[in-house]
Amino acid sequence: MFNLFKTAVLMAAITALFMAIGSVLGGRQGMLLALVIALGMNFFSYWFSDKMVLKMYNAQEVDERSAPQFFRMVQELAQRAQLPMPRVYLIDEAAPNAFATGRNPEHAAVAATTGILRVLSERELRGVMAHELAHVKHRDILISTISATMAGAISMLANFAMLFSPRDSEGRQTNPIVAMLVMFLAPIAAGLIQMAISRAREFEADRGGAEISGDPAALASALDKIQRYAQGQPLEAAERHPETAQMMIMNPLSGGGIKGLFSTHPSTEERIARLMAMARG
């Protein structure tokens, strides 16, 4: 519940930031232009993100005949989560990882690397796939698209600053120092909020996944194992497409080691601690 509240607060914060930056830099005209452009770009991404990312990773769809054990696991977890059956994909990569995509539960897909199937036990794999189904259930693709739209609009406003910032009757900027500060700091602030939203959604997916699988300790064990393997086994597709790294259960570009404000994922240690607290509770 706390993470849902935190997400709502962060979404309100990035919207308020957009309104404030817009009034300083762009005025009504600049705000509208930036929002329309950002909406257009991210609407396309939201609608076609599943097809794009699955193609980037050369993911192959599987069914009950081609991957019976894995497919039935996802099917059982989807039933437990009261979700429509998503499409199921495998990615031929040695690095252990997984992700969910799709614009809503009716058009969802979950994908896992062949490496994660080899590395994890059945219990641990159930925990991971339950985490991904929690993302689907919480409509996190929609939330991330909205936050990306607002962050993109703020960055565009900063780029439009020289064109749309308020000017006096002689055409000079009324507050050039303020405009310059906002122009440089606004995109950073927007990015920080966007990453904080991403971290909150990961915590919530951990909690939701543990509830779906009924086994928080298994997901905690899986995260620990994925982090240890990821440190020495890069996910090649993610290195070619770094913009997709935030979708994974663990950021494959950081090996689980990047901490702080600029991380798209919470620290693995904190995620494990929260899950183990759930298991004890």
The CA–CA distances, whole Å, from 259 to 38, 238, 254 equal 28, 19, 9
pLDDT for position 256: 43
Residues known to be catalytic: 132
pLDDT for position 172: 56
Residues in the chain: 281
pLDDT for position 255: 44
pLDDT for position 84: 97
Q: Is 94 helix (H, G, I), strand (E, B) or coil?
A: coil
pLDDT for position 187: 80
pLDDT for position 258: 44
Residue 62 CB contacts under 8 Å (≥ 6 apart), including other chains: 70, 71, 88, 89, 90
pLDDT for position 94: 92
pLDDT for position 162: 56
Q: Is 110 helix (H, G, I), strand (E, B) or coil?
A: strand
- Cβ-contact 99, 132 below 8 angstroms: yes
Structure tokens at 254: 């950081």
- Give the residue from 134, 136, 111 showing the smallest Cα distance to 56: 111
Q: What is the pTM of this model?
A: 0.81
Which segments of the chain have a pLDDT < 70?
1-7, 21-31, 33-34, 38, 41-42, 44-46, 159-176, 178-179, 182, 254-262
